Amino acid sequence: MKITDITLTVVGIPRHTGFVNKHIIVKIYSDEGIVGIGEMSDFSHLPRYAPDVEDLTNVLKSFLIGENPFDIMKLNQELSGNFPEAMYYYEKGSFIRNGVDVALYDLCAKYLGISVADMLGGRIREKIKVCYPIFRMRFMEEVEENVEVIRQRLHQGFDTFRLYVGKNIDADEAFLAAVKSEFGNEVKIKSLDFSHLLDWKSTLQAVKRLTKYDLGLEMIESPAFANDYEGLHHIRMRTDYPISEHVWSTKHQYEMIKHDSVDIFNISPIFIGGLTAAKRAAAVAEVARKSVILGTTQELSIGTASMAHLGANLVNLNYTSDPTGPELYIGDVVKNRIQYQNGYLHVPDRNVPGLGIELDENLIETYRVKDLSWGNVSVHQLQDRTAQTK
């Protein structure tokens, strides 16, 4: 089997908040008539630069066309050579590598008539516990809005939530107090995500304030400045809660292991550059006797399905994971959206080859946009994922 072509289609899909996220849908064509699909997720994020899609398509064609898609390791080397790893988890090169890598797995698994999970090592689970995100509050007026999100999502079966904190600790505390008062043990806040906003000492002070509400906390996420491995170690030694951090490069994971910085590696194909890299990072974590969770940048169903297949076979996936992206959008580009039931992400049917996800060309046309340009979007809107200005 040989690769004959690759196409990239940009779509812009609004979240329920009104913010429009732009993604690239990848199609890799083969001489067997089989098409693999992937997703370069969420280019609408800091830093505010994005590739020229026509130029990117030509670059990918230059080293993919004519290749055997089963040479996944070789093609990942080409991807890494053209789009090298960086030390920042929103760097766009990893988004590009991920979209192509996932499409390769989908193509090869379809050819073999097996699921992507089977290509990755089979299954030890058919569903993955996930949480719904509660986005960061800057003002006290946002507390009640987020409590209402809890009410709505609890009704839909989500009983576990991840809380972004650190901009307004008073609002964070007020929110936790309100949740505890109204829902008691019915709702679980699985993590406090500081997103590198504070230094580790300031985070430790905030943690002492926010953890007095017994809501089933599993972990503290990103509680130091980015790449501050010593800071992560310091706070890890001073709190009883496990510390979690994203993995966005091989070097980054090495440094965290070297400094014994974390208990849980947050691994997402989009941030580390594909299923191949994510599987390797999970294996490294296992050797280091660390747990993992599946992270997210709030993907659509294609990207989320790839994570479900990955999570199906990870032996050290010991905590609640994050991929609930499709629930945040008003639409998608597939005929069969990824399924959530009672707070679990369900792995696609093993009997459906590939990712188990089928594109809907009509929906792609509905959401198709010209390019990845930004328009009139403020930094706060990018960080909080709120509605774009008119």
* 340 is an active site residue: no
H or E element: which one contains 183? Answer: helix 169-183
229 is catalytic: no
Query: Burial of 62 by CB count in 10 Å (0-12 exposed, 13-18 middle, 19+ buried)?
Result: exposed
CA distances from 216 to 205, 227, 370 (A): 19, 28, 44
CB atoms within 10 A of CB 358: 12
The sign of the dihedral angle between the CA atoms of 319, 320, 322, 325 is positive
Q: If we measure between CA atoms, which residue out of 7, 196, 13, 219 comes closest to residue 100?
A: 7
Contact 19, 386 (CB under 8 A): yes
What is the per-residue burial (b if ≥16 Cβ within 10 Å, else e) of 219-239?
bbbbbbebbbbebbbbbbeeb
The active-site residue out of 29, 105, 132, 164 is 164
DSSP bridge partners of 164: 193
Report, as residue numbers or ranges, the catalytic residues. 90, 164
